[in-house]
């Protein structure tokens, strides 16, 4: 039986192996009589803990021995011969995230309303999710087993929340002792093994800004290209996180940070040939400044962390415009509806949509929705909730509503406050389309 290796991080006892959740008809798995609910516990004699292990242990192998715990309780040993690259044709259960042992001042869990969905209280700190989805870990409680796994299975890149290289400051922010906060040896070991690191700094005014920030960037830049990039994103305070040690991020603070970091970025570009330390879009927008050019972001190494999303959108929008100029949108006048977004992005989006209406005759309206659920300080579109949208009903015009698909759970049409999309439609009395940019572009023709 597999158990989590670190005592403070133990959340549950895992069952052996990894469960098959779906088998494709006429696939290799079906031929082997594997079924939903069966668990693969070993591949070629090696224990399988999750689908990453399975992927690692089967990759490139054409002859395999699988130990399977059948749904019925029987154990089977199956010899498999397959063509190179042949897919088994099954899907696996999701990885159960390992949880952190920190008490970060700014932890998003402390900013949730008490009645928020239980999944919003999961404090994941998992090197597997870091590799798969770009989730950040602090490495404070990474085990020897996990360290070995990252290097052996080449789980690269890893996304690491550094916050500060000053140990006193890092320990204070993470709510752990200095010994635990010190990850320098772990980082070095990962980098020496060829694992690429993307770092994150959650910027907390009066704690890790100023000289602490300058030193953190400089320490990390000294490791370039093993540390590929640093994302500097502002602290987000909801109305539920009332820790007096945290100072809210203001417009003036963002303006000051841009002034300071622009100089650092210029130096880094001259020295490393890359911007390296990127400010989150939110910092520019809160400061009332436009985001940097396309060139600034290179290959957008931290876009999932809200770094470069606005520039990416602007570029996508330009491409859409060119396409529409060649072929007018279908039934443009019937495209009469409201696009919902957070208050931060609304002015940027409104400018583009207004020009679209003027040129192509669409009747789209942009509504920046205030976040009443988490508090007005939370301005991003991804944290919009059903109750915020319903409270802004008078801003909705036209015959349909478009909302950002990122405001829904990735595997279910439900918002952060538990309101289902179909219920939102019912209460608004209008169809609601949850779209990303590509699906919006397709809607226009």
The separation between the first and the last C-alpha atoms of the chain, rounded to the nearest angstrom, is 53
**189 lies in the site for ligand SF4, by CB under 6 A:** no
**268 lies in the site for ligand SF4, by CB under 6 A:** no
**Which candidate, 126, 155, 152, 119, places its Cα nearest to that of 140?**
126
**264 lies in the site for ligand SF4, by CB under 6 A:** no
Q: Which is nearer to ligand SF4, 133 or 439 (CB)?
A: 133
Tokens matching residue 270: 């001259």
Cβ-Cβ contacts under 8 Å for 371 (sequence gap 6 or more): 342, 343, 378, 379, 383, 384, 385, 388
Of residues 346 through 385, those in contact with ligand SF4 by CB under 6 A are: none
Q: Which residues pair with 338 in a beta bridge?
A: 365, 401
**123 lies in the site for ligand SF4, by CB under 6 A:** yes
**104 lies in the site for ligand SF4, by CB under 6 A:** yes
Site string for ligand SF4, 136-175 (x = CB under 6 A): --x-------------------------------------
Numbers of helices and strands, H then E, in the chain: 16, 16
The span from the CA of 272 to the CA of 221, in Å, is 8
**9 lies in the site for ligand SF4, by CB under 6 A:** no
Q: Which is nearer to ligand SF4, 50 or 125 (CB)?
A: 125
**235 lies in the site for ligand SF4, by CB under 6 A:** no
CB of 348 to ligand SF4, least distance (A): 28
Distances (CA, A) of 88 to 8, 22, 131, 225, 383: 37, 11, 23, 37, 37
The residue within the footprint of ligand SF4, chosen from 125, 166, 282, 305 (CB under 6 A), is 125
**275 lies in the site for ligand SF4, by CB under 6 A:** no
CB of 103 to ligand SF4, least distance (A): 6
Q: Cα–Cα–Cα angle for 32, 35, 39, nearest 5°?
A: 95
Q: Which stretch binds ligand SF4 (CB under 6 A): 25-33, 100-108, 337-345, 387-395?
A: 100-108
Distances (CA, A) of 212 to 103, 182, 204, 219, 426: 20, 15, 11, 10, 51
Q: Which is nearer to ligand SF4, 109 or 443 (CB)?
A: 109
Per 3-state DSSP, what percentage of the chain is helix, strand, and coil (rounded to 5)? Answer: 40, 20, 40
**105 lies in the site for ligand SF4, by CB under 6 A:** no
The residue within the footprint of ligand SF4, chosen from 69, 100, 257, 285 (CB under 6 A), is 100
| 8 Å CB contact between 104 and 86 | no
The residue within the footprint of ligand SF4, chosen from 40, 107, 364, 403 (CB under 6 A), is 107
CA 168 and chain centroid, separation: 28
CB of 304 to ligand SF4, least distance (A): 16
CB of 307 to ligand SF4, least distance (A): 18
**Which residues of the shown chain bind ligand SF4 in the complex (CB under 6 A)?**
100, 102-104, 107, 109, 123, 125, 138
């Amino acid at each position: 039986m597999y158990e989590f290796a670190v005592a403070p991080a133990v959340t549950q006892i895992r069952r052996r192996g990894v469960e098959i959740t779906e088998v494709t008809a006429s696939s290799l798995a079906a031929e082997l009589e594997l079924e939903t609910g069966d668990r693969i516990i070993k591949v070629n004699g090696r224990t399988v803990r999750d689908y990453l292990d399975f992927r690692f242990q089967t990759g490139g192998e054409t002859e395999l021995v699988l130990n399977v715990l059948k749904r019925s309780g029987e154990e089977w040993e199956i010899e498999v011969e397959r063509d190179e690259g042949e897919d088994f044709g099954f899907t696996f259960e999701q990885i159960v995230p390992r949880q952190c042992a920190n008490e970060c001042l700014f932890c998003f869990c402390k900013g949730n309303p008490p009645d928020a969905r239980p999944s919003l209280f999961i404090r994941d700190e998992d090197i597997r999710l870091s590799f798969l989805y770009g989730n950040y870990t602090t490495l404070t409680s990474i085990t020897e087993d996990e360290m070995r796994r990252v290097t052996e299975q080449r789980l690269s890149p890893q996304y690491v929340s550094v916050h500060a290289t000053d140990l006193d400051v890092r320990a204070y922010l993470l709510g752990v002792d200095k010994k635990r906060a010190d990850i320098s040896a772990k980082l070095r070991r990962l980098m020496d093994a060829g694992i690429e690191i993307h770092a994150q700094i959650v910027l907390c005014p009066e704690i890790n800004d100023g000289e602490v920030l300058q030193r953190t960037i400089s320490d990390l830049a000294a490791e370039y290209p093993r540390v590929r990039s640093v994302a500097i994103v502002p602290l987000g305070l909801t109305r539920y996180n009332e820790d007096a040690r945290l100072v809210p991020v203001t417009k003036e603070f963002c303006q000051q940070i841009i002034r300071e970091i622009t100089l650092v970025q210029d130096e880094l570009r001259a020295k490393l040939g890359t911007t390296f330390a990127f400010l989150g879009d939110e910092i520019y927008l809160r400061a009332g400044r436009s985001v940097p050019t396309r060139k600034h972001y290179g290959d957008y190494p931290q876009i999932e962390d809200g770094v470069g999303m606005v520039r990416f959108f602007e570029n996508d929008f330009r491409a859409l415009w060119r396409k529409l100029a060649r072929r007018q949108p279908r039934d443009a006048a019937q495209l009469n509806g409201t696009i919902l977004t957070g208050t931060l992005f609304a002015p940027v989006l409104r400018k583009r949509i207004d020009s679209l209406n003027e040129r192509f005759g669409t009747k789209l309206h942009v509504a920046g929705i205030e976040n009443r659920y988490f508090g007005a300080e939370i301005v991003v579109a991804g944290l919009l909730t059903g109750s915020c949208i319903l409270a802004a009903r008078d801003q909705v015009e036209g015959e349909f509503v478009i909302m950002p698909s990122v405001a829904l759970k990735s595997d279910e049409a439900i918002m952060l406050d538990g309101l289902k999309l179909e219920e939102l439609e019912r209460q608004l009395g209008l169809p609601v389309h949850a779209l990303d940019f590509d699906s919006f572009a397709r809607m226009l023709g």
